[in-house]
């Protein structure tokens, strides 16, 4: 069921309930008022009889069969302690006692009690010869009571007419409420319908550059702004994905072409001397390693979050020391000086190891021969400094961009993903990566982690 139809039905039900409640209240109020008028008339007649005695009584209430009571005429009947109770006349006065061709007002035990003075006056309803009566039994003297009654046929006729009118009004109100609900809901939901059609057209067009028009400041406008913001993020993600695929294909093309060329040469036996063939085989192995490292970097570049089940308390100083030992094994001629304070952070050891390894690999690549690489870890900030040429001023804003390589780096091995992975892993761990140049030369890469649990005291690593 559509929202418009639900709103129309809801409006019809609301109007139906309101009109029905108002109609019922009106019917009850009118009925009470009309019956109250009849009771007041009977009460006044009783008071007159009690003041003036029997001469104020209306004519006796003996009626011929088939006669109808009419108008506001009041009929009376005297009841004494020895008046017989009408046959079939219980407290609810549904029956009457018939005597020959005469009809008498019904008499009950309660009427006798009123005449005897043991019961107070009370009002009652009865039906005589098919005519509805409203009556009262009240004491007028010792041992004597009087029954006064008048027809309420006209009252019931008015109430029947009023009931029909109220039913018609209720039905008309429901119909009008449903119609107005349908019209109003259609006008109110028109922006939603337009919003839906526009979003569907965007989905069909497959054009992330298009945006929804935003007018006003209502809920639909706010929804359109949120939707446009989602499209902005989606467009940026798609652009990053396209750029990543394009850059990755570009970076993979060169080592694959070189690897293919070397393999084709090796497939031709006897074309190269053994020494050159051995050197070419070593080159193939190195190119394969380089290609594997590039694929690893590309996979790492696609990781953006840390799952809760992966995170744990990590001694960052231990991770840094392990990365430094790896550099010393792979590059025996490189001098690394470390000053590490015990530091515990919440993170993933493997990814933090990748972050530190990439920082050190960048320093090893650019460090001047015979100069040390300085690694410090204090106040939850990891700092790696080399003594190479430093970053060109124009390259500093792009150091952490994916696949970005400066003019000086285009002739050296690498994918251009190392420092971008540093920034990415840092962001995943709530840290901030920055790049700068030392005043006396050399590049500095820093990763500052947010505050966390303090490590237990132990002596820092120094060398």
What average pLDDT does this structure show over 403-409? 56
The domain 312-462 is classified under which CATH number: 1.10.3720.10, 3.30.565.10, 3.40.50.410, 3.40.50.150? 3.30.565.10
Sheet holding 122-128, edge to edge: 74-80, 144-151, 131-141, 122-128
Q: What is the pLDDT of residue 103?
A: 53
- Mean pLDDT on 153-167: 87
C-alpha dihedral sign at 219, 224, 230, 232: negative
Q: Is the pLDDT of residue 358 over 70?
A: yes
CATH of domain 219-301: 1.10.287.130
9-66, pLDDT tens digit by residue? Answer: 887 888 888 888 888 899 899 989 998 988 998 888 888 888 877 666 655 544 433 3
Residue 67 has a pLDDT of: 41
pTM over 0.75: no
CA-CA distance, 191 to 221, in Å (whole number)? 9
Give the pLDDT of residue 87.
52
Greater confidence (73 vs 135) lies with: 135
For position 308, what pLDDT does the model report? 58
* Distance separating alpha carbons of residues 258 and 290, to the nearest angstrom: 11
For 177-218, what is each residue's pLDDT tens digit? 778 777 877 777 777 777 777 777 766 666 666 776 777 777
**Mean pLDDT, all residues of the chain:** 77
pLDDT of residue 434: 94
Torsions phi, psi for 249 (to 5 deg): -65, -35
Confidence label for 309 from pLDDT (cuts 50, 70 and 90):
low
């Amino acid at each position: 069921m559509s929202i418009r139809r639900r709103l129309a039905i809801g409006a019809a039900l609301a109007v139906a309930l309101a009109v029905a409640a108002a109609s019922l209240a009106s019917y009850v109020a009118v009925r009470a008022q009309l019956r109250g008028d009849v009771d007041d008339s009977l009460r006044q007649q009783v008071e007159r009889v009690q003041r003036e005695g029997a001469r104020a009584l209306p004519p006796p209430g003996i009626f011929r069969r088939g006669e109808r009571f009419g108008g506001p005429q009041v009929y009376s009947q005297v009841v004494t302690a020895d008046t017989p109770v009408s046959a079939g006349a219980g407290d609810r006065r549904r029956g009457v006692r018939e005597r020959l061709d005469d009809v008498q007002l019904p008499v009950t035990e309660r009427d006798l009690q009123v005449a005897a003075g043991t019961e107070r006056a009370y009002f009652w309803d009865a039906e005589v010869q098919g005519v509805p009566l409203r009556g009262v039994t009240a004491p007028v003297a010792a041992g004597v009571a009087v029954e006064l009654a008048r027809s309420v046929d006209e009252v019931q006729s008015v109430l029947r007419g009023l009931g029909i009118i109220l039913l018609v009004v209720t039905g008309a109100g429901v119909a009008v409420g449903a119609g107005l609900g349908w019209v109003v809901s259609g006008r109110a939901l028109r922006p939603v319908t337009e919003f839906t059609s526009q979003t569907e057209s965007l989905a069909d067009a497959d054009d992330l550059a298009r945006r929804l028009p935003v007018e006003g400041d209502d809920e639909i406008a706010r929804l359109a702004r949120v939707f446009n913001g989602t499209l902005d993020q989606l467009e940026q993600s798609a652009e990053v994905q396209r750029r990543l695929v394009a850059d990755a294909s570009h970076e993979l093309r060169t080592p694959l072409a070189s690897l293919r060329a070397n393999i084709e040469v090796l497939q031709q036996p006897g074309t190269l001397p053994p020494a050159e063939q051995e050197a070419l085989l070593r080159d193939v192995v190195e190119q394969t390693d380089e290609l594997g490292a590039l694929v690893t970097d590309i996979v790492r570049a696609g990781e953006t979050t840390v799952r809760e089940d992966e995170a744990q308390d990590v001694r960052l100083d231990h991770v840094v020391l392990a990365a430094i030992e790896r550099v010393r094994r792979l590059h025996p001629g490189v001098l690394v000086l470390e000053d590490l304070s015990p530091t515990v952070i919440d993170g993933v050891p493997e990814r933090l190891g990748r972050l530190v390894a990439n920082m050190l690999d960048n320093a090893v690549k650019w460090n001047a021969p015979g100069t040390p690489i300085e690694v410090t870890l204090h106040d939850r900030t990891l700092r790696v400094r080399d003594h190479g040429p430093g970053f060109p001023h124009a390259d500093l804003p792009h150091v952490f961009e994916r696949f970005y390589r400066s003019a000086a780096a285009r002739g050296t091995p690498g994918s251009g993903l190392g420092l971008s992975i540093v920034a990415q892993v840092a962001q995943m761990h709530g840290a901030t990566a920055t790049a700068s140049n030392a005043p006396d030369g050399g590049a500095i890469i820093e990763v500052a982690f947010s505050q966390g649990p303090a490590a237990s005291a132990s002596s820092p690593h120094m060398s």
